[in-house]
Chain A
């Protein structure tokens, strides 16, 4: 039996009269690449925010790496690398300077930081632009830099919130290749996306969320097979009666 990296029990999050997360329960195994799918506003990001200690659940519990995210937030933060949905970087700093800040916030030693920085810049295709200010980067380059900031400290668990949104196909495939490498390194990854082909390409298992509820959970192949359709996009249509990107 695999060890659980993430355990979520009956998670509920309400914002006044809106229930963003409505009783979600799931487990993610160590080394698993788990996809959290759903349209915009389904509750994916709120779930991620709870898992990394940014938001307090209205009800339920969540554990990351065996630590309760509410009671042992500091320990959870040492395990995590989070790439937020918005492209959060310091525009006035160079690519390398952005990376160094986050390396230092994770108290990395100088040599390790230098080595990982060079490796990640190379893999994400930013080595040639590393000394330029981030404000000069294209949208796709900024997203890739944002991903590096999340992973510079070599976290055991990575939350990647829509990492390829608004990327050109070339950048998107570069990020996919990178995520596959992370999985080979036995990292646990939660990937939120509303690109169903991305989930099919990358994820071991997926959970489909709609209106805050987990409406399906399984491997992409199982979900497709059970619904007797051709792909995950059609699984979503079969489950909800509408397309996943209708609400975008």
Chain B
């Protein structure tokens, strides 16, 4: 393999990214605008935290209602939730339908009993009394829909005093051992998914790039030179990895400026970038698969959404409030594991050597290399490189 060829083609691809306005927008400006828009929506600018109006209906029939009260206090202590109690669900639902509040939390009758059973035997799930906390959301508010569920999850996790040794609880809203962040905002919860989100659009760029070069004869022209398929593909993968790295850096700077400052060390950040780099391989792979199917750059744009949307909706913060079925489906897309690992690193305070993060990394690495290989093989089969 001649490095001179790889470097020349890599530089060409990077220059294209900077000089083509549409590519520049999609790769770099779009993530910046996106982070700013979402960051602002979720309260990351102006120094103030957003406040969500949440109604609480306690059905707790226990003689001792300490657990429900503790939950209410914990919700209020977040300073993100302005809690109002309602006597019954009907009244609370009315307030929700009128837009007075953005969510209703219904504490079930067995909540205190469940809490007590958990405290008595935190590592013995068989001894727990399960409780389902019902959450109603204002469907007219995207922000509330996206932001409130993870906040409630965090409150429940804090209440249960969960940690990685006891990663489950009797409460039906699954929680994790969250956060070293002092005053968590909704931005903190979606920031890990933002890193993943930006990179997903590489699929479209790769597909368009290959389809365009094929259409205008450049692919054929390169094939006439002594450049080998390995040199060509290496240059493509390298250039898109560099782009992914720059994207991640831009997104990080943006979310940092908007208030996302997780209390983690440099190794965690370095590991996050490695994860994003690995993830970019799958996006190149999906891009090549798209370019194989598409007959023109326009078709490539449309077909790329077949791969972009599932990754976007099932694997990033966007999917946080989707149905449980959708969340299960998310486990079949690489972006889910990237977001999960980044959440563990930045929000759960997990070390990058922890089993959960390493498992995510392994899944990301294996799946992304496999997808890249499939993309290269398919493209090479139908369109000689």
Q: How distant is B94 from chain A, measured CB to nearest CB, in Å?
A: 59
Residue of A nearest to B232 (CB): A105
A82, CB-defined interface residue at 8 Å: yes
A-B residue pair count with CB separations less than 8 angstroms: 66
Binary flags per residue of A54-81, CB closer than 8 Å to B gives 1, else 0: 1000000000000000000010011010
Stretch at the interface among B220-228, B237-245, B247-255: B220-228
A183 at the interface (CB under 8 A from B): no
Residues of chain A lying within 8 A (CB to CB) of residue B20: 92
**Shortest Cβ distance from B349 into chain A, in angstroms?**
45
Q: B72 within 8 Å of A by Cβ?
A: no
Q: Does B378 contact A (CB under 8 A)?
A: no
Task: Summarize B's interface: helix, strand, loop or mixed.
Answer: helix
In the complex, which residues 174-202 of chain B have their Cβ closer than 8 Å to any Cβ of chain A? Answer: none
Give the contact stretch, choosing among B6-14, B102-110, B283-291, B330-338: B6-14
Contact A101–B9 (Cβ < 8 Å): yes
Does the CB pair B222–A86 fall under 8 Å?
no
Q: B12 to chain A: which residues have CB within 8 Å?
A: 90, 93, 97, 101
A154 at the A/B interface (Cβ < 8 Å)?
no
Contact flag A105-B8 (CB < 8 Å), given A74-B226, A86-B216, A88-B217: yes
> How many B residues have CB within 8 A of the partner chain?
24
Q: Are A54 and B5 in contact (CB under 8 A)?
A: no
CA separation between A91 and B228, bound complex, in Å? 23
CB-contacts of B1-32 with A (<8 A)? 2, 4-5, 7-9, 12, 15-16, 19-20
Q: Of B15, B221, B224, which is within 8 A of A93 by CB?
A: B15
List the A side residues contacting B8 at CB < 8 Å.
Answer: 100-101, 104-105
Residues of A within 8 A of B15 (CB): 92-93, 97
Question: In the complex, what's the smallest C-beta–C-beta distance from A205 to chain B, in angstroms?
Answer: 24
* A18 interfacial by beta-carbon distance below 8 Å: no
Contact with A along B316-332 (1 / 0, CB 8 A): 00000000000000000
Q: How far is the CA of A177 from the CA of B292 in the complex (A)?
A: 42
- Asked if A77 and B225 make an inter-chain contact with CB atoms under 8 angstroms apart, the answer reads yes
How many angstroms from the CA of A87 to the CA of B4 in the assembled complex?
25
Which A residues touch B220, using CB under 8 A? 54, 84, 88
B residues near A (Cβ < 8 Å) are 2, 4-5, 7-9, 12, 15-16, 19-20, 216-218, 220-228, 384
Chain A residues with CB under 8 Å of chain B are 52-54, 74, 77-78, 80, 82, 84, 86-90, 92-93, 97, 100-102, 104-107, 133, 149
- Apart from the given pairs A101-B9, A105-B227, 18 other A-B contacts in the complex at a CB distance below 8 Å: A54-B220, A74-B228, A77-B225, A77-B226, A78-B226, A82-B221, A84-B217, A86-B216, A86-B217, A88-B220, A88-B221, A92-B16, A97-B12, A97-B15, A104-B4, A106-B225, A107-B4, A149-B221
Q: What are 5 contact pairs spanning A and B, CB under 8 A?
A: A74-B226, A84-B220, A104-B8, A105-B5, A107-B5
